[in-house]
Amino acid sequence: MDIKLIKNDVKNRKISFILKDSDVAFANALRRIVIEDVPTLAIEDVEFRKNTSALYDEMVALRLGLIPLKTDLKSYNLPEECLCKGKGCAQCQLKLIIKAKGPKMVYAADLKSKDPKVKPIFPKTPIVKLLKGQVLEVEMTAVMGKGKEHTKWSPGLVYYKYDPKITITKKGQDILECVDACPQKVFDKKGGKLEINQKRLLDCHLCGACEDLSKGEIKVGRDVQDFVFFVESWGQLNCKEIMLEASEILDKKLDMFEKEIKTKKK
């Protein structure tokens, strides 16, 4: 297998790359591990000291739990893998607090963390509006978890598609209507002829609109061994950290599977 980086959009936390010489089983395993098994920090327990806002405790707790928190994989462990065996310690838990008094809008930025490296990714996320005299005092516990337990621990979105392949016959070069018919704008008109815009070829989602319009003069295919991956991070980890952690987790799962097979043979 080989990986070719297509785009690295650091500002918007997105990357895209081509996974070459692979198969659907491996590509889908990688996708599922990213969504379900790469751990992140998220607020799990919420203890209300005082809440006189218009929202019930449960609604505020739900909003707090869904706030993405910057995660340091080297500093925190999953509870089941921690030396404390999940009882709770500084290596698997983090305390945060909110103390706010109205009138004001309480934002994610109002969360005060005991670890300065862990902070909300989107500080302008609104939590609750406090009117004059209303108070919100909350103590929260953030723990490491996985997306398969709850989506709040999922580090981002990842999906893939086959690498598109398009061929145009000599007659197909005269069908200029495909320039406007293609929803992904994969085609250009140059010198009165239809040609493929190589910079936008990977945007093709194999809809077949050009094939229908050209009546077979344009063929849209796919390379079943090459996959175009798109990764979008929610911010807890950057895309590189997500993919490296996912590859390590996949290696561990394969090692465990190998051991199970050897054990069964004995």
Q: Is this model's pTM higher than 0.75 or not?
A: yes
Rounded mean pLDDT for each run of 10 residues along the chain, 266 residues in total: 90 93 94 96 97 96 96 92 87 95 96 94 97 96 95 95 91 89 91 90 89 88 92 96 95 90 78
| CATH T-level assignment (fold) for domain 40-148 | RNA Polymerase Alpha Subunit; Chain A, domain 2 (2.170.120)
* 3-state SS class at 71: coil
Give the type of residue at 258.
Answer: E
Question: What distance in Å separates the CA atoms of residue 30 and residue 185, rounded to the nearest whole number?
Answer: 29
Q: Do domains 2-36+156-231 and 40-148 have the same CATH topology?
A: no
- Tell me which H or E stretch contains 189: strand 187-190
| pLDDT score of 264 | 77
Q: Where are the domains of the chain?
A: 2-36+156-231, 40-148
- Tell me which H or E stretch contains 97: strand 93-101
Question: What distance in Å separates the CA atoms of residue 13 and residue 237, rounded to the nearest whole number?
Answer: 9
| pLDDT score of 103 | 96
* The dihedral formed by the CA atoms of 170, 174, 180 and 186, expressed in degrees to the nearest 10: 20
Among candidate residues 10, 9, 8, 31, the one with its CA nearest the CA of residue 19: 31
| pLDDT score of 266 | 65
Neighbours of 236 (CB within 10 A): 25
Q: How far is CA 55 from CA 60, 130, 140, in A?
A: 7, 10, 17
- What's the CATH class of domain 2-36+156-231? alpha beta
| pLDDT score of 216 | 84
